[in-house]
Amino acid sequence: MEHDSRTPSSASALSRRAMVGGVALAALTTTGAVAGTARATTGTGLPWNPVPVPAQRPVTEYQVSVAGGGSLWCWDTGGSGEPVVLLHPGSGSGESWPYQQPVLAAAGHRVIGYSRRGAYRSVAGTKAEADTASGDLDTLADRLGLDRFHLSGSAAGGPLAIDYALAHEDRLLSLTVSGSIMGVQDAEYLELTEALQPDPFGDLPVAVKELGPSYRGGDLDGVAAWLAINVRARTADAFAQSLAHTITWAALETLTLPVQLITGDGDLYSPPSVMRLNAQHLRGVQTHVVDEAGHNPHWEQPAAWNRLLITFLKKHGLGKRGRH
């Protein structure tokens, strides 16, 4: 059952800016992952007030060399907090996280984002000599001196996050996959996803495919900012990069680390029913649906999404794994 814990008088007084900063937190129902999916609510009945981008924390920027002449543009808030690495959607880049960078840092985390090969400010290099996408991530983690860290992948970043977990599970504290078809290659799953994206789905404007109708109707400036990142995202030398593993339901069942799946209720790629289908193949998984969001809930409903991620990271931090 969906609910909001705020009283009508207090709800009307809260600004969306405060919600992004973590002063107000979205209400969540407490349910099991498979028996029922928790919902992140956004104040049903309240007017839609656009969320301003919060002030960003200072970062150190790097160009991390990877095999085949490639280079990954990376930013890092630094500090001694538990690291969390953010993997961007295919429609975005390392620029995709302005709503997360300062909020996660304020929660005590070292926050790291980067552009994969062929995305904004990164260099693709030579395809024939390139490493896998998860191999690049491991090179980046070594370069930044990461021991164990949290990993969060959104949309096309989801399959990469899963592939990295299959290859280096012992290096991860937790895994979050948001708004993603997860790269599952089982025949029946591919048939399902194809049915969800019939022709001419691929020809639709990118904002229609990836942003929910509530967001597109409620925040025109936010849509424009998202589209500006999208336009800058892909470079002329971009190419499709391989994964190290074939992701199947059987492969998902081998993972033992804490996993969280998030999707928007208006996601055209991974609607809640598909997310729950994949959750059945993960141990101890938590699942969440963000109200009034499409394929990019981290951008469309950042207060709710940030709350989900921060709560999960705290639950599965260093010294806590195995207690839950």
Query: What was the pLDDT predicted at 13?
Result: 30
- SS3 for 56? coil
The residue count of the chain comes to 324
Give the percent of the chain with pLDDT over 70.
85
pLDDT at 200 over 90: yes
> Distance between CA 100 and CA 102 in Å, rounded?
6
- SS3 for 39? strand
- Looking at residue 53, what DSSP letter applies? P
Question: What's the pLDDT tens digit per position in 276-314?
Answer: 999 999 998 999 999 999 999 999 999 999 999 999 999
Where does the pLDDT of residue 38 fall: very low under 50, low under 70, confident under 90, or very high at 90 and above? confident
pLDDT at 129 over 50: yes
Beta-bridge partner residues of 113: 75, 86
- Looking at residue 60, what DSSP letter applies? E
The side-by-side arrangement of strands in the sheet containing 286-290 is: 38-40, 286-290, 259-264, 172-178, 149-154, 83-87, 110-114, 70-76, 60-66
- Helical residues (DSSP H) of the chain, grouped into ranges: 8-13, 16-20, 101-106, 133-143, 157-168, 187-196, 206-210, 213-218, 220-233, 249-252, 272-279, 297-300, 302-315
Looking at residue 83, its amino acid is P
Question: What's the pLDDT tens digit per position in 210-258?
Answer: 999 999 999 999 999 999 999 999 999 999 999 999 999 999 999 999 9
Average pLDDT of span 54-68? 98
Query: What was the pLDDT predicted at 284?
Result: 87
The answer to whether residues 155 and 269 touch, using CB atoms and an 8 Å cutoff, is yes
Query: What was the pLDDT predicted at 48?
Result: 82
Where does the pLDDT of residue 3 fall: very low under 50, low under 70, confident under 90, or very high at 90 and above? very low
Where does the pLDDT of residue 37 fall: very low under 50, low under 70, confident under 90, or very high at 90 and above? confident
Q: Is the peptide bond before 198 cis (omega within 30 degrees of 0)?
A: no
Average pLDDT of span 31-45? 61
Question: What's the pLDDT tens digit per position in 181-198?
Answer: 999 999 999 999 999 999
Comparing CA positions, the residue from 153, 119, 309 lying closest to residue 229 is: 119
pLDDT at 27 over 50: no
Where does the pLDDT of residue 4 fall: very low under 50, low under 70, confident under 90, or very high at 90 and above? very low
Comparing CA positions, the residue from 83, 249, 97 lying closest to residue 173 is: 83
Average pLDDT of span 91-100? 98
pLDDT at 6 over 80: no
